[in-house]
Amino acid sequence: MRYLSTRGGMAPATFSEILLGGLAPDGGLAVPEHYPTLAPGELAGWRGLSYPELAFAILSKFADDLPAADLRALIDRTYSADTFRTEAITPVTNLLDNVWLLRLSNGPTLAFKDIAMQLLGNLFEYALLKTGGHLNILGATSGDTGSSAEYAMRGKRGIQVFMLSPHQKMSRFQTAQMFSLQDPNIFNIAVHGVFDDCQDIVKAVSNDAEFKARHAIGTVNSINWARVAAQIVYYFKGWLAVTTHDDQEVSFAVPSGNFGNICAGYIAKRMGLPIRRLILATNENNVLDEFFRTGVYRVRQTAQVAHTSSPSMDISKASNFERFIFDAVGRDPAMVRELWRQVDTFGFFDLSGTDAFRAILPSGFVSGSSNHPDRMAVIRWVYQECGTVVDTHTADGIKVGLEYREQGVPLLCLETALPAKFEDSIVEALGHPPERPAGYENIEALPQRFEVMEADVAAVKAYIARHAS
């Protein structure tokens, strides 16, 4: 399997060659040169596989340059009941007649990002050990991504993590989760400022090519191809869990922000998984819902991004969207370059009335959005009807999913975080806090390790230079 850039300026590369990278050198995103399709009977043969076995069957198609035994060992080490607290890794729970919750949030940080990030940690360590290299990961977080990255990279040889977060602006739970890590390769930097100040610092450091090369600075952001690839697996796992015959179509409802999760679902469908609808749900930041309804992709200015009660979906642009658009425009890199030139210049592009947009609609994508009162009502309703407490992001997905529910078509709603992460919203909806999984009862009381710094690029660079491997 070779990988190309959506903007056409990268020589075909292997999985290993793109693994550690962020953007392609031409500013595009890495995509497989074609999607592997299932052989007749292949899907039927996957019934009864464990999560690691299924992950190997799928990921070996995308990472075919890695020795099979090595990939198998990395996958086995990643997807264990020790890490994900359940043998099934992504179990399903029935909510209503033919409506299911696909539970993706049993990893160490209680959000679905762990599923891909835990594999990434093991893949990165493996790749660096092979080459004798090292990597200093620099990131900015408002909560979820940073902790998921830190729990994936803690203790890994050859890797250090420098994670910037806005000082005293994350939830107490999220702060405790990150800052209680005592691993010497994890550096938490609490910046006096807001999330955008943190992100600006990361951009400024990344734009200093000399500094970046000297200190082997890398990222783990959501455009990393291996993260998307790892997420394809649970669409298959969910499908296998709720179907009995091999051409049974199911629909998935996906709480969406950067289009990473649902992009994996789209690829699963392209591989031949019988998916009827991919139901994209946004919160008040409805960039993607607007696109699927109108054909206009209009990014938001930072100041226009609403701070909502499903904060991990508060995005101004959807960083993985370019992968999907690349296919929609017939894999024409010149067209992709032109569309993103328009985004950079005018803040939007408009595909309405084009063949590309006409082709997207029958492809299974539908969309909708949700707001604070909606998600409060859904959390209450799901609790009363099903006895299950869902988090705010998952509630956005369920809300839109039910709007598109069809008779006789199983609907799988993706659970992207556990309610324990968003206690205040659950108290608001239900009047009592959610249960915390075992081991998380007292995390706020653990000793915390972090550095407080001004929002000053030079100071952050000096700190990295002092501590980088």
Ligand X SMILES: *Cc1c(COP(=O)(O)O)cnc(C)c1O
* Chain centroid to CA 433: 26
The DSSP element (H or E) to which 52 belongs, if any, is helix 51-62
Q: Considering the rule CB under 6 A, would residue 258 count as an interface residue with ligand X?
A: yes
Strand ranges in 97-246 using DSSP code E only, listed in sequence order = 99-103, 135-140, 159-166, 186-192, 217-218
Return d(Cα 217, Cα 54) in angstroms, integer. 33
Binding to ligand X (CB under 6 A) within 128-157 occurs at 144
Residue from the set 20, 313, 325, 379 that interacts with ligand X by CB under 6 A:
313
Write the CA distances from 135 to 19, 185, 434, 468, 469, integer angstroms: 12, 11, 38, 9, 8
Contact 324, 363 (CB under 8 A): no
- CA-wise closest residue to 261 among 125, 370, 102, 124: 102
Q: How far is the CB of 221 from ligand X (least distance, A)?
A: 10
Q: How far is the CB of 265 from ligand X (least distance, A)?
A: 10
| Residue whose CB is less far from ligand X, 200 or 396 | 396
Distance from C-alpha of 177 to C-alpha of 286, rounded to nearest angstrom: 29
| Site for ligand X contains 425 (CB under 6 A) | no
Q: Are 188 and 212 in contact (CB under 8 A)?
A: no
Length of the chain equals 469
Q: What is the Cα–Cα distance from 367 to 403, expressed in whole angstroms?
A: 10
Q: Which is nearer to ligand X, 5 or 224 (CB)?
A: 224
Nearer to ligand X by Cβ, of 288 and 453: the residue is 288
**Catalytic-labelled residue, pool 113, 237, 269, 421:** 113
CB of 355 to ligand X, least distance (A): 26
Residue 434 in the binding site for ligand X (CB under 6 A):
no
The verdict on whether 113 is a catalytic residue reads yes
* 379 contributes a contact to ligand X by CB under 6 A: no
Query: Which of 14-22, 180-188, 249-257, 268-276 is the region at the interface with ligand X (rule: CB under 6 A)?
Result: 249-257
Shortest reach from residue 58's CB to ligand X, in Å: 18
Q: What binding mask, one character per residue, do residues 176-215 give for ligand X by CB under 6 A, x or -?
A: ----------------------------------------
Q: What mask, x for binding ligand X by CB under 6 A, covers residues 386 to 415?
A: -------x----------------------
174 near ligand X, judged by CB under 6 A:
no
Minimal distance, residue 343 CB to ligand X, in Å:
18
Residue 257 near ligand X by CB under 6 A? yes
- Considering the complex, state which of residue 74 and residue 263 has its C-beta at the smaller distance from ligand X: 263
| C-alpha span between 283 and 315 (Å, rounded) | 10
Residue 420, number of CB atoms within 10 A of its CB? 20
Owner of token pair 């962020």: 22
Sequence-ordered alpha helix ranges (H) in 258-297 = 260-271, 287-294
CA distance 393 to 379: 10
Task: Rule CB under 6 A: say whether 278 interacts with ligand X.
Answer: no
Instruction: Read off the DSSP letter of residue 40.
Output: T
Residue 224 binds ligand X, judged by CB under 6 A: no
Q: How far is the CB of 5 from ligand X (least distance, A)?
A: 20
State the Cα–Cα distance between residues 183 and 180, nearest whole angstrom: 9
Is residue 312 involved in binding ligand X (CB under 6 A)?
A: yes
CB of 320 to ligand X, least distance (A): 7
Among 99, 104, 111, 223, binds ligand X (CB under 6 A): 111
> Toward ligand X, which CB reaches closer, 122 or 308?
308
The gap from C-alpha 205 to its chain's centroid, in whole angstroms, comes to 23
Applying CB under 6 A, which residues contact ligand X? 111, 113, 144, 222, 255-261, 312-313, 393, 416-417
Q: What is the set of active-site residues?
A: 113
